[in-house]
Structure 1
Amino acid sequence: MSHRGTRSTPELAGAAALVSRHLGTGARVTDMERLTGGTFNDVYRLTLEGAEQSAAVLKISPPPSVPLMTYERDLLRTEAGFYAHGSTVEGVPLPRVLGTDFDRKSADGDRLLMTHLDGRDWHTARSTIPACERDRLRCDLGRIIGELHHVQGVGFGYPQHGTPGTGSPWRTVFLAMLSDVLHDARTYNARLPFDEDRLLRTIDQKAWLLDDVTVPTLVHFDLWDGNVLVAEREGRLEISGIIDAERAFWGDPLADLVSPALFGDISDDEAFLAGYCSARGRGFRLGDHDLGRVAMYRIYLALIVLVEGTPRGYDPDERAPLTDRATADLFAALDRLHRTVPQATGEA
């Protein structure tokens, strides 16, 4: 999902200067390979000599002229922050930030240099993963995400939007996030397959569910199979990396139960939930209200998918298989939200 005709093309010299600045004057870039499959930034694999690492990954954000959704501002800064916070948890396989260039003086976008993780993304490797291994890996993924959710912050919201630390409750922040996406739809004339007023009425009627969330937690929010790496180690497959944390925010940890079951219901993934609940500890389990909140976050992700293609200039017909699935999941999540049991004292 690239921004067509807007990608910057960094020269080898620019990458070499960044590597030299952060990895030492003896570090050299001997090869620079553009990686495919990214949805927002340019991504390159750098082959290195004279550095502790033999390879690194360089990400470059789109130039300022590219039209963005509201939440997409400064995403590489969000990603770098996610890895810094996530690195405090042992056993979570994240890239390590090697260096950043966010002053936009030497390039027309932000640049993030990080370690290269071995493995293939789960989406690509799916057909090669034996059925007997899948449940073990799903359990491991759930455990890793559950461990990551022990990282807590000081305020809710996107890191680059100034909301963390302001003291606003999660209900206020999340409803503003959702409102921003709908505003983006109007700004870019994105066609949405539902009545906006009806959607907002349903969300408002169930907004009391969000009041259960009082502690800001580090949320990745893009944990679909393409952002999970697997590699063979000592004769068996292991999860070797969690990558592309551009959509991260401080919020309800249950928001991370959406993309692992992309356009589906995480309740159907027993292996993932077994690992996740064990990592959360103290007899953690998902109740009706929890699944109601997950439904809200499914709606939010579906809205992003339905809107983002318009400012990025995608062909609607080519994108239809994806947007059709997002639409179906949005309505399924709305139905699930409708069925959430009200509070004993009535919905507020």
Structure 2
Amino acid sequence: MDFQPIERPPDAFQQSVTADQVVAMSLRAFGPHVQVRAGVELGNGSYNNTYRVDLTGDLDANVTEGVDAHPPQDRSVILRVAPEPARQFRTEREFLRNEVASIPLLSPIAALMPRLLAADFSHAVVNRDYVFQSLLDGVPAPQGLAAYPRASWAAFFRSLGAITRTVHDVRGEGFGPVNGPAFATWAEALAARLADLAADLDDLGLDATDVRQVAEVAGRHLGVLNRIREPRLLHGDLWTVNVMVAPDAPEPTICGVFDCDRTSWGDPEADWSILLAGRRPGTERDAFWDAYGPLANSGEARLRRLIYRASHLGAARLERHRLGNAVGVAESYDELREILALLTD
């Protein structure tokens, strides 16, 4: 087997599994007659370890039905392996289980998503959750967009807005992560999220005072938050890094959506894609709103969006710390200070 893990320092958050573990996971998922020709770790993403696994042999039909992009004797699949449970933040716990639970809910965009081939949360092979998925066609959007003149990028963002709206049109019954815990009100779900963020920052030795101040502001505006009465499905990470584009289309065309492990029920305006689409107004990103539709512009809606932006900044601080981005961590305090000034004005 040709095994190509990404070499990382011993103290890095992401740690590769071994070649033997990739073989054992593959045999468990696809049956004893499969052979693993290669396992190549992919560099995208900073949470799960992701591999392209090249297989040969007789794969069990029940897990490969409909995955016919390659002949039966030669097939590539994606393996995603979660961090060990002890390494997971409270705000990122059991993400792969959350994604598996969300697959039926994401059926309106199923044609764009990879097929789930196998999931193993038993920890019998390795002390980590893992899933096998079909390999999506296309090119990662950050790379694919670069092949087009910037003037044509509006088509991409218009399509992204339409996909986001399709996801947000899915209705639920409770607030919070798709796989739980569920909350009766949006304010309760948001309060739990902010409390977990603060606790995660505490565990890392980072000052969480500003996140707790945001939680206090949210607690003073329960009525405003609880105007959101109907839970809607949020993707949580739908942006260019988790999208594939068709390589030879006349304009940037989305052909795949992946990494749907941060799904939750909440206010659509709290979704990550809404925050990013609103950045850099006056650019091609404005086309997002052509398909998605305008946001509410009341004072209460603007207040909610400030709280959501603060929550995203707290999560970004965790991510920046994990990546060793000390400058980004410091900047998050300045950014959150500005938001708190607006919230308490």
1:43-62 counterparts in 2 under 5 A?
Answer: 43-50=50-57, 52-53=68-69, 54-62=75-83
- In structure 1, C-alpha distance between the alignment counterparts of 2:83 and 2:212, rounded to whole Å: 33
Which residue type is aligned with residue 78 of structure 1?
A: N
Q: Relative to structure 1, is the Cα distance of residues 267 and 94 closer, same or farther in structure 2, using a 3 angstrom cutoff?
A: farther
- In structure 2, C-alpha distance between the alignment counterparts of 1:337 and 1:42, rounded to whole Å: 38
Q: Which shifted more, 218-227 or 265-274?
A: 265-274
Query: Is 1:323 paired with 2:329?
Result: yes
Q: Which shifted more, 232-241 or 132-141?
A: 232-241
Given candidates 318, 322, 325, the residue that maps to 1:307 is 318
Which residue type is aligned with residue 77 of structure 2?
A: A
Segments of 5+ residues of structure 1 without an aligned counterpart are: 278-283, 340-348
What's 1:280 paired with?
A: none
- In structure 1, C-alpha distance between the alignment counterparts of 2:115 and 2:333, rounded to whole Å: 36
Q: How far 1:101 sits from its partner (Å)?
A: 0.5
What's 1:180 paired with?
A: 196
Q: Relative to structure 1, is the Cα distance of residues 240 and 251 closer, same or farther in structure 2, using a 3 angstrom cutoff?
A: same
Q: In the alignment, is the contact (CA less than 8 A) between 1:29 and 1:46 conserved in 2? A: yes
Q: How far 1:27 sits from its partner (Å)?
A: 4.5
Q: In the alignment, is the contact (CA less than 8 A) between 1:57 and 1:113 conserved in 2? A: yes
Q: How far 1:13 sits from its partner (Å)?
A: 4.8
Aligned-residue identity in percent: 24
Which residue type is aligned with residue 297 of structure 2?
A: G
- In structure 2, C-alpha distance between the alignment counterparts of 1:130 and 1:43, rounded to whole Å: 30
Given candidates 32, 42, 67, the residue that maps to 1:35 is 42
Q: Which shifted more, 241-250 or 261-270?
A: 261-270
Query: Is 1:247 paired with 2:274?
Result: no
Query: Is 1:272 paired with 2:283?
Result: no
Q: Relative to structure 1, is the Cα distance of residues 297 and 6 closer, same or farther in structure 2, using a 3 angstrom cutoff?
A: closer
What's 1:159 paired with?
A: 178
Query: Is 1:287 paired with 2:297?
Result: yes
Give the secondary structure class of the aligned counterpart of 1:128.
coil
Q: How far 1:59 sits from its partner (Å)?
A: 0.6
What's 2:104 paired with?
A: 84
- In structure 2, C-alpha distance between the alignment counterparts of 1:202 and 1:235, rounded to whole Å: 48
- In structure 1, C-alpha distance between the alignment counterparts of 2:233 and 2:147, rounded to whole Å: 31
Q: Relative to structure 1, is the Cα distance of residues 259 and 7 closer, same or farther in structure 2, using a 3 angstrom cutoff?
A: same
- In structure 2, C-alpha distance between the alignment counterparts of 1:38 and 1:290, rounded to whole Å: 32
Q: In the alignment, is the contact (CA less than 8 A) between 2:197 and 2:211 conserved in 1? A: no
Query: Is 1:189 paired with 2:213?
Result: no
Q: How far 1:125 sits from its partner (Å)?
A: 4.0
Query: Is 1:298 paired with 2:309?
Result: yes
Give the secondary structure class of the aligned counterpart of 1:15.
helix
- In structure 2, C-alpha distance between the alignment counterparts of 1:253 and 1:220, rounded to whole Å: 9
Q: Relative to structure 1, is the Cα distance of residues 70 and 233 closer, same or farther in structure 2, using a 3 angstrom cutoff?
A: same
Q: Relative to structure 1, is the Cα distance of residues 79 and 173 closer, same or farther in structure 2, using a 3 angstrom cutoff?
A: same
Q: Deviations over 1:83-110 (max 9, x none)?
A: 3321x10476222211100001111100
- In structure 2, C-alpha distance between the alignment counterparts of 1:17 and 1:39, rounded to whole Å: 24
Q: In the alignment, is the contact (CA less than 8 A) between 2:54 and 2:77 conserved in 1? A: yes
Q: RCO greater where, 1 or 2, for CA within 8 Å and sep 6 or more?
A: 1
Q: How far 1:285 sits from its partner (Å)?
A: 4.5
- In structure 2, C-alpha distance between the alignment counterparts of 1:3 and 1:245, rounded to whole Å: 28
Q: Relative to structure 1, is the Cα distance of residues 173 and 195 closer, same or farther in structure 2, using a 3 angstrom cutoff?
A: closer
1:71-220 counterparts in 2 under 5 A?
Answer: 71-86=91-106, 88-90=107-109, 93-160=112-179, 162-164=180-182, 168-192=184-208, 195=210, 198-220=213-235
Which residue type is aligned with residue 112 of structure 1?
A: V
Give the secondary structure class of the aligned counterpart of 1:218.
strand
Give the secondary structure class of the aligned counterpart of 2:245.
strand
Which residue type is aligned with residue 134 of structure 1?
A: W
Q: In the alignment, is the contact (CA less than 8 A) between 1:298 and 1:329 conserved in 2? A: no
- In structure 2, C-alpha distance between the alignment counterparts of 1:266 and 1:3, rounded to whole Å: 41
Q: Which shifted more, 329-338 or 91-100?
A: 329-338
The TM-score with structure 2 as length reference comes to 0.80
Q: Relative to structure 1, is the Cα distance of residues 176 and 223 closer, same or farther in structure 2, using a 3 angstrom cutoff?
A: same
Q: Relative to structure 1, is the Cα distance of residues 4 and 36 closer, same or farther in structure 2, using a 3 angstrom cutoff?
A: farther
Q: Relative to structure 1, is the Cα distance of residues 291 and 196 closer, same or farther in structure 2, using a 3 angstrom cutoff?
A: closer
- In structure 1, C-alpha distance between the alignment counterparts of 2:263 and 2:50, rounded to whole Å: 18
Which residue type is aligned with residue 138 of structure 2?
A: G
Q: How far 1:115 sits from its partner (Å)?
A: 1.4
Which residue type is aligned with residue 166 of structure 2?
A: E
Given candidates 236, 246, 259, the residue that maps to 1:231 is 246
